[in-house]
Structure 1
Amino acid sequence: MDVVTRLGKRVRYLRTEAGLSQEELAFRAGMKRSYLSDLERGTRNPTVRALGRLAQALTVHPGQLLED
């Protein structure tokens, strides 16, 4: 599994564990819901800024976005 797909699965997992909808997480991270959806499906390469925003919105260390 490539890193983008792995990242997307991990973000989805962390989001659902936090009890957040895509819309709520996107709002907290300052991004569009469609962008978050693309990230979760592994169809878009995230920027470093997006990774930082997601980690902050999920209250995790950025490195945790790539853990299994």
Structure 2
Amino acid sequence: MTVEQAISLLTKPIPVNINVNTTEIVKEIKEWLASNRFTNKFFASNILNIKGNHLTNIFAQPRDFILESRILFY
């Protein structure tokens, strides 16, 4: 997966009828990063446009997905 493909997937709106399990998403992202030999720092800076230490905090304590907060970003 290229950086452009990852950005495209990460910026797609999440349908209302999908249950979002943030803990499972974090687990899958960590597995994907490890299997593709990407560092957290690379993923954070090139795909999420955040600092690596912020991503470490997100991975350590994923927050619950709240539908109302998602609506604010449309």
Relative to the length of structure 1, the TM-score reads 0.51
> Which structure is richer in relative contact order (CA contacts within 8 A, separation 6 or more)?
1
Q: Give the 4+ runs in structure 1 shifted more than 4 A.
A: none
Relative to the length of structure 2, the TM-score reads 0.48
Mind listing any 5+ residue stretches in structure 2 that lack a counterpart?
Answer: 1-19
Larger Rg: 2
Alignment partner of 1:27 out of 45, 54, 66: 45
Structure 1 or 2: larger helix share? Answer: 1
Paired residues of 1:7 and 1:40 also in contact (CA < 8 A): no
Size of the alignment, in residue pairs? 46
- Please tell me the root mean square deviation across aligned C-alpha atoms, in Å: 2.6
Paired residues of 2:26 and 2:62 also in contact (CA < 8 A): no
| 2:57 partner amino acid | D
Mind listing any 5+ residue stretches in structure 1 that lack a counterpart?
Answer: 49-68
Q: CA deviation at 1:20?
A: 0.8
